[in-house]
Structure 1
Amino acid sequence: MIRYSTVTEKNQREIILLKSSPCIWGKCSFCDYIDDNDSDLKKDISLNKRILKKITGKYKTLEVINSGSCFELPKETLNDIKSVVISKDIKKLFFESHWIYRDKLSEIETFFNIPIIFKCGIETFDNDFRNKILNKGAIFKNPLEVSKYFKSVCLLVGIKGQTKEMIKNDIDYLLKYFEYGCVNIFVENSTNIKRDENLIHWFHKNFSFLEKEKNIEVLWNNTDFGVGGDSYEI
């Protein structure tokens, strides 16, 4: 598994994929990413230390991802991240968090004491599709409510059952309410959720302008950030 990379286009940053305890939700119908979870904390901490040694601080920005939320990272790993932030003079962090943790975000902000962009995997603002089909476990009234907690959301595009209207609304909400965003084109995995090639083709044709939005990133493949793919590195 590749666990260190750099994002050199928009929002230049170093990015690392760390190991964590199991996702607090872990029930999303489309996700097998949680297979990277591990309950062996000693093993997780040891691996994470090796990955953190790769950080150079060259962009002064670091994104930390794991197969769940930043709150599931071992406490020792959070301390190790903070040490790297200080030693490498990191000025901004990106972290991921499930909606469940929305009232705890300030704890991470206080701990690191630097600007943090929290990303939340909303997937879609269509409530029925998000919770009944994707089983996301994120219940809220509207995009404005989400924006009170998160500066960035991740959307999922290209799943059988999604509609063009759904996607249009999602992109409108993203641009209207959020400072940052990531649009993930669905790649089939070990789950039963299927990819809609026609919908993806339509999205590419109609929303290619998002590539020019400085704080919106479109991932056509789930390894486009450079982490998560296979590696022979030990």
Structure 2
Amino acid sequence: MIRYSRILEKNPREIVLLKSRPCTWARCFFCDYIHDNCKDDTSIIQFNKEILKDITGNFKKLEVINSASVFELPKECLQDIKDIVYGKDIKELYFESHYMYKNRLQEIRDFFPDIDVKFKSGIETFHNEFRNNYLKKGVNFNSPQEVAAHFDSICLLVGIKGQTKGMVSQDIDLLLKYFKRGCINIYMENSTPVKADLELISWFKKEYSYLKDMDNIEILWNNTDFGVGEKDEY
């Protein structure tokens, strides 16, 4: 498992994959990412201290991801991150959060005063029935504008059996219209029953090839394209 990397192409930054407490939601049908967590705070804190030592601050930007939301990191881990951010003169800090925490994001911003803290959320799709009835995301909102009011960036999931070209096209349109940044994750089969639609993925690659030239859109063709995680390709 690779825990530290540097993203060099779009929005250059350092990135760390930390351990955390179990995901509070933990019901997403397609996700086995939650296996990378721990219930022992002391173990989490000590483990993450070693990962955080690799941060250099060279890009002045740091992304912190974990097997849940930022709110599942022990307070001591947040303090360790804070010490490094200020010690390395990092100016921008990126965290992930489940949409359920949308009204608590200011708590994190207040913990990092004078730092430009940005949040991303994996809503996966704007298609409500597919998102909640099939993917079991537990993410409810009335409009993309509502999501954009809380999150600077969203993650979309493309290439799942049951998705249609129309659903994907609508998702991309709304991402480009309402959000400053976006990350598109191409679905890779894992230990869950959810299957990939390789034909849909091939269509997406041809139809939306122009996205690779957009500075604010990142596409993860493999789930380790940011350089962290376990290598697992088709």
Fold in common (TM above 0.5): yes
Letter in 1 for 2:160: I
Output one character per residue of 1:197-217: Cα deviation in whole Å (capped at 9) or x when no partner: 000000000001110110110
Distance 2:67 2:178 in 1: 26
Distance 1:116 1:159 in 2: 31
Which residue is 2:192 aligned to?
Answer: 191
Distance 2:110 2:74 in 1: 17
TM-score in terms of structure 2 length:
0.97
Which residue is 2:62 aligned to?
Answer: 62
Residue aligned with 2:160, SS: coil
Output one character per residue of 1:9-53: Cα deviation in whole Å (capped at 9) or x when no partner: 000000000000010100000000000011011111001000011
Letter in 2 for 1:29: F
Residue aligned with 1:214, SS: coil
Structure 1 residue 117: deviation in Å? 1.4
Distance 1:37 1:165 in 2: 35
Distance 2:97 2:9 in 1: 24
Aligned length: 230
Give me the identity figure in percent. 61
Distance 2:143 2:197 in 1: 26
Residue aligned with 1:166, SS: helix
For residues 24-103 of structure 1, what are the structure 2 equivalents within 5 Å?
24-103=24-103
Which residue is 1:3 aligned to?
Answer: 3
Q: Which runs of 5+ in 1 are unaligned?
A: none
Residue aligned with 2:10, SS: coil
Which residue is 2:219 aligned to?
Answer: 218
Which residue is 1:143 aligned to?
Answer: 144
Letter in 1 for 2:60: K
Output one character per residue of 1:172-196: Cα deviation in whole Å (capped at 9) or x when no partner: 0000000010000000000000000
Which residue is 1:17 aligned to?
Answer: 17
Distance 1:71 1:93 in 2: 15
Residue aligned with 2:118, SS: strand
Letter in 2 for 1:225: F
Runs of 4+ in 1 over 4 A off after TM superposition: none
Would you say 1:124 and 2:118 are equivalent positions?
Answer: no
Tell me how large the CA RMSD over aligned residues is: 0.6
Letter in 2 for 1:14: E
Structure 1 residue 120: deviation in Å? 0.2
Residue aligned with 1:117, SS: strand
Residue aligned with 1:21, SS: coil
